[in-house]
Structure 1
Amino acid sequence: MSTTTATTAIAAAAPARRSNARAVLALAALALPTLLVAIDISVLNVALPTMGRELHAGATQLLWMTDSYNFMVAGAMLTTGAAADRIGRRRMVLVCAAIFAAASAVGAFATTPDLVIVARGVMGLAGSAILPASMALLAGLFLDERARIQAMGAMMTVFLGGMAIAPLVGGLLLAHLWWGSVFLLGVPVMVVTVLTVPRLVPESKSETPAPLDLASAVLSVASVLLLVFALKRAVGTGVDPAVLVAALAGATIGTAFVRRQRRLAHPLVDLALLGAPRVRRTLLALLLTAVLMGGISLFFNLYLQEVQGLSAFHAAWWMLPQMLAMIASANLAPWLCRTLPQRTVVVSMLGVMTAGFALYATVPGGDLGRPWVALAGSLATFGIGACFPMLMNGVISAAPMERAASSASLAQLANELGIALGLTLLGSLGTVVYRARLGHTGSRAAQSVIEGVQAGRHDPALLASVDAAWTDAFRVAGALGVVVMALVLVLVSDRKRGSSA
C-alpha cells in the first residue's frame, strides 16, 4: 500500500471512529434515565412498610402506591410512543426526564398517601415515554444491525442491573435517611440527563409529523389501563364482577380503538406494522415469552418462600443467579451474532430457555429443589436475555424510521401485557392443580398455598400435602412452558419471506 493510499484510509477511518465514540457516549447518556426507570419499578417495595406506618396508609393505598406507576407505564406507552415520533424522540426523553424529576420530588415530600399515588402515576406516565423513545433513538444512532443489537443488549443490562440493585439501594437509603429518599434518586439522575442528552444525542423524529389524534390517545390509555387492572385484580383477588366488568370494558374500548385506527389517515398506531408477518410473529413471540416469565416468577417465589420455607431475603439470594445469567446473555448474544446467523443464535437461545422450563417440569422435592429451580431459572433467563434485544430489534427495524418509537412501544406493551397475563393465567392454573392435588375441598388450606402453609404449621401431614401439591402445580406450569416454547420456536424459525431473527 502506498503512503498516499494509507494516509487516505486513515483519514477516512478517523470520522468513523469519532462517530462510533459519539454513539457510545449517547448510549451512556440514554442509559441514565433507563436505569432510574428500572430502579423505580421495584425500589418502592422496600420502603412500603415504613411509608405505611408514617403516612398511616391502608392496605389499598399501599397497593396503589405501587400499581399507579406500573399501570401508567403500560397504559400510556402507545400514546407516548406515537407522540415521540411526532414531536421528536430526544425532546420526549428530555421533557419526560424533567417531569419524572419533579414528580419524584413531590413524592419524596408527600404528606398523604394519595399524594404519593398521584406522584407515582405521573412518574409512570413519564417512564412510559422514556423507554420506547430511547430505543427508537438507538435505532438512529447505530445503523449497523449488529451494533444496534449490542446497544440494545447494553440498555437491557442497565435495566436489569437497576432492578437488581434497587432493593440494596433502597435498604441503604432507609437505614440512614427517611423514606422519601428513595424518590429523590430520580432528581439528580434526571438533571444529568437533561444536561447531557442534548449535547450527545441528535434529535430524531418523523420527517412529516402528523397531528396526534387525542380521541385515539384516550381510547388507547383507557383500554390498556382497564385490561391491566382486570389482570392484576384477577391475580390478587380472583375473578369477581369488577374483573369481568373491567375486562369487558377494556376489550370494547380496545375494539373501538382498532376500528378508529383503520379509518384515520394518520392513525395513532399504524396497524400496517402488524400486517408484516415478521412483526406479527416477533410480537407474538415477545408476548408468549413474557407470559411464561411473568407466570413462572409467581411459582418461583411461592415455592422458595412457602414450600422451601425461606425468608424473602434468603429467597432473593436464590434468585440472584438468574438475574446474573440474563445480564451475561444480553451481552453475549451480540458477540455470537458476529460469527453466527442471527436466526441460529435466537433459536439456540430459545432452546436454552426451553431447557429451563423442562427443569421446572421435573423439580424434585426436598432441599434439592432449591438449586434445581435456581438452575432452571438461570437457563430460562439466559435464553430470553439473549433473545430479547434481537426480538426488539426485529420489531423496530421492520418499521419505517418515522414510526420507530411507535413500533418500540408496541414491543414494550407486548412485554408488559404478557407479564400481567402470565400472572393471571399461570396463577389460575396453579391454583386449580394445587386444589385438585391437595384434595381438601372447602378447607382453609385449599384457598392458596400461603393459607395451606399457615394451616399446616401444627399439622406435619397437612404441610407435607401442601408442599407436594404446590410442587406438582410448579411442574405442570413448567410442562406448559415447554409446550408454549415449542410454539415460540416455530414462530422464530419460520423462513418465509420477511422472517427474521
Structure 2
Amino acid sequence: MTVLSETKARSPRLALALLSLPSLLIAIDISVLSVALPRMAADLRPSPTELLWMNDIYGFMVGGTMITMGALGDRIGRRRLIVACSAVFAIASAVAAFASAPWMIILTRAVMGIAGAAIMPASMALIGELFPDPKRRVSAMGAYMTCFLTGMSVAPLLGGVMVEYWWWGSVFLLGVPVMLLTVLAAPRLLPESQTTVSAPLDVRSTVLCLAAILTLVATLKWSVNGAHPWEATALGLAGLLLGLVFVRRQRRLEHPLVDLSLLRRPGVGRALTVLFLTALLMGGTSLFATFYLQSVLGLSPLVAALWQIPSMLAMIVASNLGPWLGHRIAPARIVLGSLLVMTAGFVPYVFIPADRSGIAAIVVGGALATAGIGAAFPFLMNDIISHAPQELGGSAASLAQTANEIGIATGLVILGSLGTVVYRSHAGQADGSWVDGFRSATDPGALHHVRDAFVAGYHAVGVTGVATMAAVLLLYVVRRRPSAQ
C-alpha cells in the first residue's frame, strides 16, 4: 500500500516541472559527452579502453542500478531519494568538470549514473501520486518523456556551444545548478511517497546484477584491446556465470529484485527486445557521427552540432506525431512503419564518403533513424505496460527503462569495438584507436589514410545497423501474428 506523508504537492504542475528538470539533465548527460569527447581525448590522452569507459560507464551504471534504486525509493521515500541523489549528482558533476585524468572522469560519471538511476524511477512513481486521474496521469507521463527525449536531442547542440566557447569540462557544470534547484525546491513542491514493503532489499541480487553487466562489458573491451584470448574468455565466462546465478536467485526469491516471469509474456518480451536493440544502434552510431563530423571533416564542435539539429527536430516531432496518429491508425501499423523508417536511416552510413558530401548522409540518416524511434517509443512502452499484470506494472516499467539505458551503453561498446577492429584492419595497426590516429597524423597523406580507415569502420557500423533492424522487423512481425489471430 502506498502512503503519502508530510505534505502534499502545492501545485501538481509545478511539481511535474521540477521532476522534469532532472530528467532533462540526465538525458543530456547520456549523450553530451560524445560531443566533448574529441577535445577531452586530446587533453587527457586516455587509452582505448579508458576512452570507451569514459563514454559508456554512465549509461551502464544507470541501466545496471535502476531497478535496485527504484526499490530503494519505495522503502526510504521517493522524495528523500530524489533530494539526496540530486545533491550527489551535483557534487560529482563539479568534480568531473575539473578532472585531470581519465580515471576521474570514469569514477565521477559512474557516481552520476547511480544517482541518475535513482532519480528517474522515483520521479515516475511520484508522477503517479501527483496525478491520480488516469487521463491527466497519461498526459503528465507524456510531458515527462517528451522532456527526456528533448534532452537527448538538444545535447549535441548544447554541448557543441559549450565546448566551442568554453572548455570540455563545462558540459558537466550543466548539472550543478539544476540539481541544486531540485535539492532546494523538492521539499516544498513534492509530496513524500513510499510504499510499505515487508521484504528487505535483496543486496545480493543488486551486486550480482551489476557485477554481471560490468564483467560482460569488460570482456568486450579486453577482447578488442589486445588481451590474450584466454583472459577474455575467462572474463566472459565469469560474467555469464554471474548472470546465471542472478537469474536463478530471482526465481527462488519470494520477493525478487525483478520478476523474470514478465519476460515470458510475448508482448513484454518482444517490446523489450525491440527497445534494447534500437537503443543499442542509436547509442553506437551517435559516437561515429560525432567523430566523423569533427575528426574526418574537421568541423568545430559547434558547427558539427548544428548539422545534427535535423535529427533533434525529427525526434521531437515524431514523438508527438506518433501518438496523434494512434487515434486514427492501428498502433501496430505505426510501430511497423516507424521501424521501417528507422531501418532506412542506417542505409546512408553504409555508403558514407570521407569528404564533405558525407554531411548529407549524416543529416538524412540521423533524421530518419531518430524519427523512427521517436514515433515507435510511446507504443513500445505501452505494449510493455498493457501486457503486464496490473500488480507488475511498476516492475515492467523499470525493465523497459533498464533495457533502453543498457541498450544505449551496449551500443557504444559493441559498435565502438566493431569500428575499432575494422579501423585497425584498414590502418594496418595491431592496437590503438582512431583517436590516436587522428592525433598522430602529422601530414596530409597520413591524415587521409586515417580518415579512410575510420570511414571503413563507419561502413561496417552502417551494415550492422541495417542487418539488426531487419532482425527487429522480423521479430516484431512474426511475434505479433499469434496475438492478431
TM-score range, shorter chain: 0.7 to 0.9
* Separation in 2, partners of 1:468, 1:492: 36
1:488 aligned residue (433, 447, 472): 472
- 1:473 Cα offset (Å): 4.6
Partner residue in 1 for 2:328: 339
- 1:263 Cα offset (Å): 0.5
Gaps of 5+ in 1: 1-20
* Separation in 1, partners of 2:127, 2:383: 13
Partner residue in 2 for 1:250: 239
Could you say what secondary structure the match of 1:287 adopts? helix
1:36 aligned residue (22, 25, 35): 25
Q: For 1:1-400, what aligned pairs fall within 5 Å after superposition?
A: 24-41=13-30, 59=46, 69-104=58-93, 119-138=108-127, 141=131, 143-144=134-135, 147=139, 150-161=142-153, 163-164=155-156, 166-167=158-159, 170-171=162-163, 174=166, 185-197=174-186, 206=195, 208=197, 210-232=199-221, 237=225, 240=228, 243-363=232-352, 366-400=355-389
* Separation in 2, partners of 1:305, 1:169: 14
- 1:284 Cα offset (Å): 0.5
Could you say what secondary structure the match of 2:21 adopts? helix
Aligned length: 468
Conservation of the 8 A alpha-carbon contact between 1:355 and 1:379:
yes
Conservation of the 8 A alpha-carbon contact between 1:261 and 1:268:
yes
Percent of residue pairs identical: 49
Structure whose alpha-carbon radius of gyration is higher: 1
Of residues 254-263 and 154-163 in structure 1, the stretch that sits farther from structure 2 once superposed is 154-163
Conservation of the 8 A alpha-carbon contact between 1:219 and 1:256:
yes
RMSD: 4.3
* Separation in 1, partners of 2:335, 2:268: 15
Conservation of the 8 A alpha-carbon contact between 2:160 and 2:302:
no
1:290-346 superposed Cα distances (whole Å, 9 cap, x missing partner): 222233234433443454444544433333322232233223322222333322222
1:334-373 superposed Cα distances (whole Å, 9 cap, x missing partner): 2222333322222222121111122333445643222123
* Separation in 2, partners of 1:476, 1:431: 10
* Separation in 2, partners of 1:195, 1:316: 33
Alpha-carbon spacing, 1:475–1:352, altered in 2? closer, same or farther (3 Å) = same
1:230-258 superposed Cα distances (whole Å, 9 cap, x missing partner): 445556x3555665444332221111111
Partner residue in 2 for 1:409: 398
Conservation of the 8 A alpha-carbon contact between 1:222 and 1:253:
yes
Conservation of the 8 A alpha-carbon contact between 1:71 and 1:229:
no
Alpha-carbon spacing, 1:164–1:405, altered in 2? closer, same or farther (3 Å) = farther
- 1:271 Cα offset (Å): 0.7
- 1:266 Cα offset (Å): 0.6
* Separation in 2, partners of 1:232, 1:139: 40
* Separation in 2, partners of 1:115, 1:172: 23
- 1:22 Cα offset (Å): 5.7
* Separation in 1, partners of 2:176, 2:431: 47
Could you say what secondary structure the match of 1:356 adopts? helix
